[in-house]
Structure 1
Amino acid sequence: METVKVYVDKILLGVTAALFLIMVAVTTWQVIARYVLSNPSTITEEFIRFSLIWLSMLAASYVVGKRSHIAFTMISDRFKGKNKVGLELFIQSAFLLFSLAIMTYGGGKAISITMSQLSPSLGIPMGYVYLSLPVSGLLITFYSIVNMVQLLKKDKTTPMEKWDSVEYEKAGEVL
């Protein structure tokens, strides 16, 4: 499962990086076309909007996999040992349920409703935009399962805790 996670991480990182670079290039073209050529493109704004939706959803999946998403830790910081692991398992279960019920199932419903609706500029079915919901929902489901398995194994340290401890050690060496 860990090997699959590594490959999924690499693919997601590559896709999101490529999508970001494409968005930068298209935005640059839009600015040049509008202000230098005085001939603004009619499709770039919609393309950027749809790309941003996909980028956000895929990046959200990636950070769930890395367990480095935004979290309110005031309560979880008070727990230690098995209680903390139990709370983390509960949180990952909530991620799993939300991603399956809302993102995957609800996203599938949204796709079926909007597949016949075309976007104004690009003329693509809006279902392709909504496809980002179940795709990222399935990725978050996968990552939640992987995270729960990792929590049940020996190493209970999250990637961010490992990173923080390394940074503190480096800071101590510098001082």
Structure 2
Amino acid sequence: MRRYLDHAFATLGAMVVAIFAAIMVLIFIQVINRFLLGLPLFWTEEVVRMLLVWLVLMGTPVVVYKYQEIKVELFHFKNPGLETFRQITVSILSIIFCATLAYWGYLFMERSLGTLQPSLGISRAWLYAPIPLGSILTIVAFLVRGKEIQEPSDPGKTI
């Protein structure tokens, strides 16, 4: 099962890289068209905004799955039992937050189904779809890594 999840999250990571590349290309095209050619493209701003939401919310589960999030630790216990308890508590609170975000994100996406993006002519739900999807995938990442609570591999990443 873990091997399939590794492949799934690697694929999601590749998708995030592709989204980032698309954002960079679109911004470059927009700058060239607007400032050099004087012909701004009307649709690139909406596409970039939508892709940025997808980038963040699809990237979050990948970061969580790989233990690469930036951690701000106010409490660090020397006792391994208390440290494990702290990590489990943080994971549970994060799962609760993601579940709440998924629920409200789904309702928000559902409400926007009938609304169209002004310049693209597609449903505004595409802008909000990554909220519940990314939240659910982040919950999966937390649950999978919850089975292997461990110390961060790079203490330099801890603030």
On whether the aligned pair clears a TM of 0.5, the verdict is yes
Q: Partner residue of 2:81?
A: 82
Q: Partner residue of 1:170?
A: none
Bigger fraction of residues in helix: 1
What are the within-5 Å matches in structure 2 for residues 47-86 of structure 1?
47-75=47-75, 77-86=76-85
What are structure 1's unaligned runs of at least 5 residues? Answer: 166-175
Task: Give the conservation status (yes or no) of the 8 Å contact 1:27–1:44.
Answer: yes
Q: CA deviation at 1:79?
A: 4.2
* CA–CA separation in structure 2 for the residues paired with 1:132 and 1:79: 38
What are the within-5 Å matches in structure 2 for residues 1-150 of structure 1?
1-75=1-75, 77-100=76-99, 102-150=100-148
Spell out, residue by residue over 1:129-148, the C-alpha distance to the aligned partner (whole angstroms, 9 max, x if none): 11011110111110110121
Spell out, residue by residue over 1:31-67, the C-alpha distance to the aligned partner (whole angstroms, 9 max, x if none): 1111222111000011111111110111122212122
Task: Give the conservation status (yes or no) of the 8 Å contact 1:103–1:136.
Answer: no
SS in 1 for 2:29: helix
SS in 2 for 1:118: coil
* CA–CA separation in structure 2 for the residues paired with 1:145 and 1:104: 15
Q: Partner residue of 1:162?
A: 153
Evaluate the alpha carbon distance shift between residue 4 and residue 96 of structure 1 in structure 2; reply closer, same or farther with a 3 A threshold. Answer: farther
Relative contact order higher in (CA < 8 Å, ≥ 6 apart): 2
What are structure 2's unaligned runs of at least 5 residues? Answer: none
> Percent identical across equivalent pairs?
22
Give the alignment's TM-score, normalised by structure 1.
0.83
Evaluate the alpha carbon distance shift between residue 68 and residue 79 of structure 1 in structure 2; reply closer, same or farther with a 3 A threshold. Answer: farther
Instruction: Kindly name which structure, 1 or 2, has the bigger radius of gyration based on alpha carbons.
Output: 1
Amino acid in structure 1 at the alignment position of 2:92:
S
Q: CA deviation at 1:162?
A: 2.0
SS in 2 for 1:86: helix
